[in-house]
Amino acid sequence: MSDFEIIFSILKAVIFEDEKSSDMINAYAGRSDNLPLITKTVYGVLENKIYIDYMIRKLSDIRLKKIHKNVLLILEIGIYNIHFLETKDYATVDKLVDLTKAKNKRSTGFVNAILRAFIRDEKEISTIYEKDDIKSLSIRYSFPEEITRYIYDFYGMDYTKAYLRDATRVKDLSIRVNNLKTSKKNLEELLIKDGFEIEAGKISQYSFIVKNPGGLARSKHFKDGLFTIQQEASMKAIEVLNPKDNSKILDLCAAPGTKTTYLAEYTKNTGKIIANDISKSKNKLILENIQRLGLENISLTNYDASIFVDDFENKFDYCLVDAPCSGLGVVGRKPEIRYNRTKETIVRLAGLQRKILENAIKYIKKDGYLVYSTCTLGPLENRDNFNYLLEKENLELVPIEGQDFIEYKSFEAMTDGFFISKFRKIND
């Protein structure tokens, strides 16, 4: 397969079949010698799709919805290459026309005309003419207008601009030291010896920032379970929960299990941890990580967290609800999120989160602790649900570092956007 064929196949799976970009890139990794270009183009198209489509509308006499989806995808790949990668040679156009012949032969002339017209008049076509500030931002940063307006209405313009700019920033990768198998100092020495550039984490004491992470997950030290790839804000949720050794802990929405494994390491393989998630398909990945990290105190269950489980009632000293959410805090790592989220999605998820929280409260013992966290932003899933918990007569707020909650801004904390709150159950 040519590089353009691989890019096309990955993007088609992500945009039309709801696959994850990272999974698809990994699936095709062995089919090209130019994986960096493929990765850059896939993420680039996803991160700029709304803006690219805006330019295609200017060029095409055919309405966007009437263009065959394969043809539109080829045009998006072409416009991205010409405008963002500055490959303005007609050889690129010819390659994409050849790809069109294989995917939709009758549209070869159309694709050729659109891409050549863009090269001739790129400056004018790429200029955004919108008087509405939110609509203009939505196009410029390729974020759905409805979600852009949702963020703006709550946080204001400065925050919205900073968030949208940051959404395409290449994020630093952080790792968590497995203290059951190594020390922070020893791991640092091993990784530096292997050529990795390491910095101390800024949020978690057990984290490192890896500035050149290529090949990290293939390293011997990863396979030996000396560390786990995890963003620092995610680690913080476990450190805020702060479970004691020999306690009973429930991770109610556990997949893919990254926080679960930190719970086991944090409690030194003592006590009992239940990792629950509705998705049985994720069990294999969780079990692989448990084995890799040398963990012994985790059991898996697959209940629907929104439905009450009798066997869990009043059983746990600690409960983590890292709830299913819209993921607006991790768009920089998962760019496809921006195209499958609507305000309606957010409202639905906020309601689901409350059902899960209602059950979680019943699962913890008196004097037990509940942490509610999400990797998103906006009032409906975060502060509104926090206030919902705050009004519960059987819960008491536990401040975190002198604050009612932590809300990490990705563009300030240089980690995922994340919300963390903590409560203690004071009576049944």
Per-position pLDDT tens, the chain of length 428? 889 999 999 999 999 998 889 889 989 988 888 888 999 999 999 999 999 999 999 999 999 999 999 999 999 999 999 999 977 778 899 999 999 999 999 999 999 999 999 999 999 999 999 999 999 999 999 999 999 999 999 999 999 999 999 988 877 899 999 999 999 999 999 999 999 999 999 999 899 999 999 889 889 999 999 999 999 999 999 999 999 999 999 999 999 999 999 999 999 999 999 999 999 988 998 999 999 999 999 999 999 999 999 999 999 999 999 999 999 999 988 888 988 889 999 999 999 999 999 999 999 999 999 999 999 999 999 999 999 999 999 999 999 999 999 999 999 988 899 999 999 999 87
Give alpha helix (H) positions in 84-120.
Answer: 90-104, 108-120
| Token pair of 60 as six digits | 């095409």
Q: Exactly one of 253, 319, 325, 375 is catalytic; which is it? A: 375
Calpha distance 30→184 (Å, rounded): 33
Helix (H) / strand (E) containing 38: helix 35-59
SS3 101: helix
- The model's pTM is 0.91
pLDDT at 223: 95
Say if CB 358 and CB 348 are below 8 A apart: no
Burial of 40 (0-12, 13-18, 19+ CB in 10 A): middle
Helices and strands in the chain, H and E counts: 18, 12
Helix (H) / strand (E) containing 246: none
Calpha distance 2→9 (Å, rounded): 11
Identity at 162, one-letter amino acid code? A
Residue ranges of domains in the chain, CATH in brackets: 3-126 (1.10.940.10), 135-166 (no CATH), 173-229 (3.30.70.1170), 232-425 (3.40.50.150)
- DSSP secondary structure of 119-149: HHTHHHHH----SSHHHHHHHHTT--HHHHH
pLDDT at 413: 87
pLDDT at 79: 96
Query: 90-104 and 108-120 helices cross at what angle (nearest 10)?
Result: 160
Calpha distance 129→126 (Å, rounded): 9
Calpha distance 23→42 (Å, rounded): 12
Lookup result for tokens 């994986």: 35
| Token pair of 300 as six digits | 């898996």
C-alpha pair distances (Å), 292 with each of 57, 193, 222, 253: 50, 22, 8, 21
Helix (H) / strand (E) containing 379: none
pLDDT at 184: 95
Enter the DSSP assignment of 173: E
Say if CB 121 and CB 164 are below 8 A apart: no
Say if CB 216 and CB 229 are below 8 A apart: yes
Lookup result for tokens 């009798």: 310
Write b or e for each residue in 6-20: b if 16 or more Cβ atoms lie within 10 A of its Cβ, otherwise e: bbbebbbbbbeeebe
253 is catalytic: no
Q: What is the rounded end-to-end Cα distance, in angstroms, of the chain?
A: 62
pLDDT at 82: 94
Write b or e for each residue in 188-208: b if 16 or more Cβ atoms lie within 10 A of its Cβ, otherwise e: bebbeeeebebeebebbebbb
